[in-house]
Structure 1
Amino acid sequence: MTDSARQERVARVGARAAAGVREGLRRARHGLALAMQAGVAAGIAWFLAHDVIGRPAPFFAPIAAVITLASSVGQRARRTAELVLGVAIGIGIGDALILLIGSGPWQIGLIVLLAVVLATAVGGGTPLVVQSASSAVLVATLTSTTGLPWTRFFDALVGGGVGLAVMTVLLPLNPLVVVRRAADPALRALAAGLHQLGKGLAERDRTTIADALIGLRAAEKTFAAFSSAVTAARENVAFAPARWRSRGALALYVDGANHITYALRNCRVMSRRADTALGDDEPIPQVLAVSVGLLGDAVDLLRQEWAKGVEPVAARERALRAATECGQAYEEGVGFSGGVIVAQIRTTATDILRASGIDYAEAPRLVRRAVGRPHSGRRRPAPRSGLSRPPA
Structure 2
Amino acid sequence: MIGGRVGVMGSAPFGQRVADLGRRSGGTFRERLSRVRGNAALALQTGVAAGIAWLIANDLLHHQTPFFAPIAAVITLAVSVGQRLRRAFELVIGVALGIAVGDALILLIGTGPWQIGLSVGLAVAAAIFLGGGSSLVVQASSSAVLVATLTPPTEGIYLGRFWDALIGGAVGLAVMALLLPINPLTVVTRAAGPALDVLAYGLRDAAAALSAGEPDRAAEVLDRLRAAETDLSTMDEAIKAGRENATLAPVRWRARAPLAQYLDSAQYVAHALRNSRVLVRRIITMLNDGEPVPNTLVAGVTALGEAVELLRTELELGVEPEAARGRALSAASAAGLAYAEGVGFSGSVVVAQLRSTATDLVRASGVAHEESIRQVRRAFGRHAPDL
CA distance in 1, matches of 2:380, 2:234: 34
CA gap 1:283/1:170 in 2 versus in 1, 3 angstroms: same
CA distance in 2, matches of 1:179, 1:84: 29
Partner of 1:230: 239
Partner of 2:86: 78
User: Is 2:105 the partner of 1:94?
Assistant: no
Q: Measure how far apart 1:37 and its partner are.
A: 0.7
Q: Measure how far apart 1:223 and its partner are.
A: 1.2
Amino acid at match of 2:150: L
Aligned residues of 2:195 and 2:232 also touching (Cα < 8 A)? yes
Aligned residues of 1:270 and 1:344 also touching (Cα < 8 A)? yes
Paired residue for 1:178, among 187, 199, 202?
A: 187
CA distance in 2, matches of 1:204, 1:348: 22
Unpaired runs of 5+ residues, structure 2, are 1-8
User: Is 2:85 the partner of 1:54?
Assistant: no
Amino acid at match of 1:267: S
CA distance in 2, matches of 1:279, 1:129: 55
CA distance in 2, matches of 1:145, 1:90: 13
Aligned residues of 2:333 and 2:382 also touching (Cα < 8 A)? no
Partner of 2:377: 368
Partner of 1:141: 149
Amino acid at match of 2:207: G
Paired residue for 1:69, among 67, 77, 84?
A: 77
Partner of 1:21: 29
Partner of 1:333: 342
Amino acid at match of 2:348: G
1:348-370 C-alpha deviation (Å, 9 max, x unpaired): 11221222223333222211111
CA gap 1:288/1:136 in 2 versus in 1, 3 angstroms: farther
Partner of 2:170: 161
SS of alignment partner, residue 39 of structure 2: helix
Aligned residues of 1:198 and 1:292 also touching (Cα < 8 A)? yes
CA distance in 2, matches of 1:302, 1:190: 11
Amino acid at match of 1:168: A
Of 257-266 and 174-183, deviating more is 257-266
Partner of 2:201: 192
Partner of 1:127: 135
Partner of 1:267: 276
1:109-143 C-alpha deviation (Å, 9 max, x unpaired): 34334433443443333322221221121122124
Amino acid at match of 1:152: R
Q: Measure how far apart 1:335 and its partner are.
A: 4.6
User: Is 2:44 the partner of 1:36?
Assistant: yes
CA gap 1:96/1:302 in 2 versus in 1, 3 angstroms: same
CA distance in 1, matches of 2:223, 2:23: 26
1:309-337 C-alpha deviation (Å, 9 max, x unpaired): 33323222221111111112322334554
1:284-314 C-alpha deviation (Å, 9 max, x unpaired): 5453333222211111121122223333232
SS of alignment partner, residue 268 of structure 1: helix
Partner of 1:381: none
Amino acid at match of 1:306: L
**Count of aligned positions:** 376
Q: Measure how far apart 1:234 and its partner are.
A: 1.3
Amino acid at match of 1:65: A
Partner of 2:160: 151
Identity, % of aligned pairs?
Answer: 57
Q: Measure how far apart 1:169 and its partner are.
A: 0.8
CA distance in 1, matches of 2:167, 2:181: 19
Amino acid at match of 2:89: A
CA distance in 2, matches of 1:164, 1:202: 54
CA distance in 2, matches of 1:98, 1:145: 7
Q: Taking structure 2 as the reference length, what is the TM-score of the superposition?
A: 0.87
CA distance in 2, matches of 1:222, 1:284: 31
User: Is 2:329 the partner of 1:298?
Assistant: no
Amino acid at match of 1:119: A
Q: Taking structure 1 as the reference length, what is the TM-score of the superposition?
A: 0.86
User: Is 2:336 the partner of 1:320?
Assistant: no
Aligned residues of 2:103 and 2:152 also touching (Cα < 8 A)? no
SS of alignment partner, residue 224 of structure 2: helix
Paired residue for 2:354, among 336, 345, 369?
A: 345
Unpaired runs of 5+ residues, structure 1, are 377-392
Q: Which runs of 4+ in 1 moved over 6 A?
A: none
CA distance in 1, matches of 2:201, 2:114: 55
Paired residue for 2:217, among 195, 201, 208?
A: 208
CA distance in 1, matches of 2:293, 2:118: 64
CA distance in 2, matches of 1:274, 1:103: 68
Aligned residues of 2:106 and 2:153 also touching (Cα < 8 A)? no
SS of alignment partner, residue 292 of structure 1: helix
Partner of 2:3: none
CA gap 1:88/1:177 in 2 versus in 1, 3 angstroms: same
Amino acid at match of 1:111: S
